[in-house]
Structure 1
Amino acid sequence: MSGFASGSDIISYVAVGDSFTEGLDDPCCETDGTGPVRYRGWADRLAEHLAADRDEVRYANLAVRGKLIRQVTGHQVPRAVELQPDLVTFCAGGNDIIRPGADPDATARIFETAIRKLAATGARIVVFTGMDTGFQPVMRHLRGKVATYNMHVRAVADDYGCDVVDLWGMHVLRDRQAWSRDRLHLSAEGHRRIALRVCEVLGADTPADWREPWPAATPRPWRSARREDLVWAREHLVPWIGRRLTGRSSGDGIEPKRPELEPLQPAGPGN
């Protein structure tokens, strides 16, 4: 498909998905602790890159943390269709795959339904494979299901002419510096690299290389690493299990951060 190279044009972009696309854990600004944190994330960064050399980019982000693919397809996709954008990014299914008893084949059928509806708009569609979880001890057992789902994603992308961002092949994401403290969401630097990767897939200008090696990490003594594991389990794993057992979601009561297509200001240097 044609690239999104620089030019004096106007484009509209809608991001659809869950916490990955909402931007957790990449806070956009400091807060005083009295209100909710607003997240930036790779989709915001992508929109900023696209706006850097265009007359205007109109951007909406419908993604909400914790949503299952059926919820994304049922609520966000119809809204994206209404907005009639030039570009749609769609990433969903991860919250389904990590649940006990998840069926990647059934999840893929819902994925195909969503892409079929989006493709009917004529928009350029970008989809994402799941990441390789082999480097994460807690998530390693899901690797086979993620790989199965990825094969479906690629097949659907071929059928509907979608661009594919291969997160599985992004080896830079296997470094702990790419992840936030909860070990489930990307760090700000992880999001920055994803945005650069999507720009590359789109054929847009990129100000940096997402493959750039990470700075050398400070060695962690064994005792400190185990202490971090205990803190992580208490602050992140136990609450996650609690939500699963009670049927709650981290996205309950959360509204999309950019529900309308609105003009975006260009990104600053180094973003």
Structure 2
Amino acid sequence: MQDLDSLVAVGDSFTEGMDDPTPNGTYAGWADRLAAMISAHRRDFRYANLAIRGKMLQEIVDEQIPLAVALKPKLVTFCGGGNDIMVPGSDPDAVAEVYEIAVADLRAAGAEVLIFTGFDTKHTPLLRSLRGKIAIYNSHLWSVADRYHCRVVDLWSMTVLHDRRAWSEDRLHLSPEGHRRVALRAAEVLGLTPEDKWNAAWPPLAGEAWMTQRRQDLKWAREHVVPWIGRQLRGGSMGDGLAPKRPELTPVHADHR
């Protein structure tokens, strides 16, 4: 995309950048890292990030999509629906219908759209039961991408993210290295040629005893999964009261190049 002079990122915690902390107390994440890569090639490039942790898809559509349209960027990155899919009893077909309406609005406004599929949860305890729903949702996203001529970052096929080092302690959000890998993949999809490879092999990792892994799984479920489900069922969110970290299109500094 030779004429890529502006990018607006919309979404939830994945796009906000949890858990990729910066020295100033905010999060960087794949979107900030991608923006820095693009800026290195185009100095007039501007970037906004409207994503807020915990947002459900309808909230993203109602609160962020109109702002993105108003900013009139060349490209919008759009990842959403994961929080909806994780709610017990949710319908991926219905979630995809909401997603498509938002893509149609963005395309009608003249923006290119970069779509992100859901992750493969095969290697995540408890969450692996969601694989079927995520696969159905992903199929819809590929169809939406085809209908509206969108590029796709296929997170499902990124087997490099199956390594636990790609994830933070809560296993719900990427680690800094996980975010870096996604940024590299997104840059590749956009036609850039990063020096580093997103699918480079991880260094060898010493194995752990089966019992130790199971204890860690139980601790993780107790401290992270159960509280998350409780918040969703109560209608609460980690992002309640938070504002976007980067609400306007502004030049990108070299922090994450």
TM-score by length of 2: 0.95
Alignment of structure 1 residues 48-59 onto 2, 5 Å: 48-59=36-47
1:265 aligns to what SS in structure 2? Answer: coil
Question: Residue in 2 aligned with 1:262?
Answer: 250
Structure 2 SS opposite 1:143 = helix
Of the candidates 184, 190, 212, which is equivalent to residue 202 of structure 1?
A: 190
CA deviation after TM superposition for structure 1 residue 241, in Å:
2.9
SS at match of 1:43: helix
- Which residue in 2 is equivalent to 1:18? 12
CA distance in 2, matches of 1:118, 1:21: 17
1:104 aligns with 2:98: no
Partner of 1:133, secondary structure, is: coil
Q: Which of these residues, 213, 232, 239, is aligned with residue 244 of structure 1?
A: 232
Given that 1:10 and 1:55 are in contact with CA atoms closer than 8 Å, whether structure 2 keeps it comes out as: no
Deviation of 1:143 after TM superposition, in Å, equals 0.6
Instruction: Give the AA of the match of 2:39.
Output: A
State the one-letter code of the partner of 1:264: V
Corresponding residue pairs, total:
257
- Tell me, in whole angstroms, the C-alpha distance in 2 between the residues paired with 1:234 and 1:105: 30
Structure 1 Cα separation of the partners of residues 181 and 50 of structure 2: 21
Query: 1:223 Cα shift?
Result: 4.0
Counterpart amino acid of residue 74 in structure 1 = D
Partner of 1:162: 150
* Shift of residue 153, structure 1, vs aligned partner: 0.5
User: Which secondary structure does the structure 2 equivalent of 1:203 belong to?
Assistant: coil
**Is the contact between residue 52 and residue 267 of structure 1 (CA under 8 Å) also seen in structure 2?**
no
- Contact 1:89–1:126 (CA under 8 A) maintained in structure 2: yes
**Structure 1 residue ranges without an equivalent (≥5):** 32-36
What code does the residue aligned with 2:20 have? D
Change (3 A) 1:90 1:10: closer
Equivalent position of 2:222 in the other structure = 234
**Superposed displacement of residue 237, structure 1:** 2.2
Between 236-245 and 107-116, the greater mean CA deviation after superposition: 236-245
SS at match of 2:33: helix
Percent of paired sites with the same residue: 57
Give 1:233 shift: 2.7
Give, in whole Å, the separation in 2 of the partners of 1:137 and 1:60. 34
- Name 2:50's counterpart in structure 1: 62
Q: Is the 8 A contact 2:15 2:51 kept in 1?
A: yes
Taking the aligned partners of 1:232 and 1:151, their CA distance within structure 2 comes to: 30
TM-score by length of 1: 0.90
C-alpha distance in 1 between matches for 2:79 and 2:132: 19
The CA RMSD measured in Å over matched residues stands at 1.5
Contact 2:36 2:254 (C-alpha < 8 Å) held by counterparts: yes
Q: Distance in 2 between matches of 1:105 and 1:178?
A: 29
